[in-house]
Amino acid sequence: PRSNRAKSKEHKRLNTHKLVLQYIVPCMNSYGLCIVDNFLGDRIGERVVQEVKRIHQSGNMQDGQLVSQKLNKSKAIRGDKIAWVDGTESGCQNIGYLLTRMDKLITCADGKLDKFKISGRHKAMVACYPGNGAGYVKHVDNPNADGRCVTCIYYLNKNWNAKEHGGLLRIFPEGKSYVADIEPLFDRLLLFWSDRRNPHEVQPSYATRYAITVWYFDSEERAEAKRKFRDLTANSQEGSSS
């Protein structure tokens, strides 16, 4: 007879299959974005939060980009601080587990997400908005076919209240009459197409706001982007040598 552990592993695998095929794939193909709540569960979600807070407190996050400079230089407001993590670093094993769970979802959905063939991903980008009113201006993650096709964000903020803390992610789905206002709630996973279909912004945040973002590559678009980049750098070298 199979052990309970084996059964629960099988049970989890079937759940992932069901979640992907009956919810994530149809949702992504209809709306271009999809929210999965309670992705890891409270226990492991909490451990991921602790690891991210330790990264933040250890000063291992790059200073956020300048978002506004008052007249006297000292009042520069900085936006999100980021750190790149691949999940194998010491003290990041729960972030590592999150990344394997995200990879399992994407692998299971592969071939059914729009016309993409997923060939890999970036390292994870751990981001922290310091809560000083900074947000992130409206933008498209991949406006010029750099290969990124799906943006996957895991939020880590317990008791987040957008009325008080702001920090909503507002997505403006291209050609749609509605916007999607997404609260960065603890243990929430968000997926959306990285291209021009999903311009988005982070509204000013008035409490510390953590998120982990991963971008998945479409193999063809990525290969094409690399070829273009190679030609570009080759031409520029040619230019300089001639």
Ligand X SMILES: O=C(O)CCC(=O)Nc1cc2ccccc2cn1
Residue whose CB is less far from ligand X, 108 or 210: 210
- Residue 31 binds which entry of Mn ion, ligand X, none, with Cβ cut-offs from 5 to 8 Å by kind? none
Tell me how far, at minimum, the Cβ of 136 lies from Mn ion, in Å. Answer: 7
User: How far, in Å, CA of 201 to CA of 132, rounded?
Assistant: 16
153 binds, among ligand X, Mn ion, none (CB under 5 to 8 A by kind): ligand X
Sign of CA dihedral 53, 55, 59, 64: negative
Q: Identify the bridge partners of residue 181 per DSSP, sorted by sequence position.
A: 170
Among 79, 200, 205, 225, binds ligand X (CB under 6 A): 200
Q: In the bound complex, what is the minimum distance in angstroms from residue 151's beta carbon to Mn ion?
A: 6
Run of H or E residues at 139: strand 136-139
Instruction: Assign residue 87 a region (left: φ > 0; alpha: ψ between -120 and 50; beta: otherwise).
Output: left
**Least CB distance to ligand X at residue 201 (A):** 8
| Nearest-CB residue for ligand X | 169
Nearer to Mn ion, 20 or 64 (CB): 64
Instruction: Give φ, ψ of 82 to 5 degrees.
Output: -130, 160
**Residue 169 interacting with ligand X (CB under 6 A):** yes
Q: Which of 202, 212, 214, 225 binds ligand X (CB under 6 A)?
A: 202
Query: Under the criterion CB under 6 A, does residue 165 sit at the interface with ligand X?
Result: no
Angle at Cα 15 formed by Cα 13 and Cα 17, nearest 5°?
Answer: 70
Report how far Cα 53 is from the mean position of its chain's Cα atoms: 17
Query: In the chain, what is the greatest distance between 2 CA atoms, to the nearest angstrom?
Result: 73
Q: Residue 156's binding partner, choosing from Mn ion, ligand X, none, with beta-carbon cut-off 5 to 8 A by kind?
A: none
Nearest-CB residue for Mn ion: 141
Question: Using the rule CB under 6 A, which residue among 52, 83, 109, 153 binds ligand X?
Answer: 153
**Binding-site member from 136, 154, 186, 216 for ligand X (CB under 6 A):** 136
Q: What is the DSSP letter of 74?
A: G
Rounded CA gap, 55 and 91, in Å? Answer: 9
Binding site for ligand X (CB under 6 A): 127, 136, 141, 153, 169, 184, 200, 202, 211
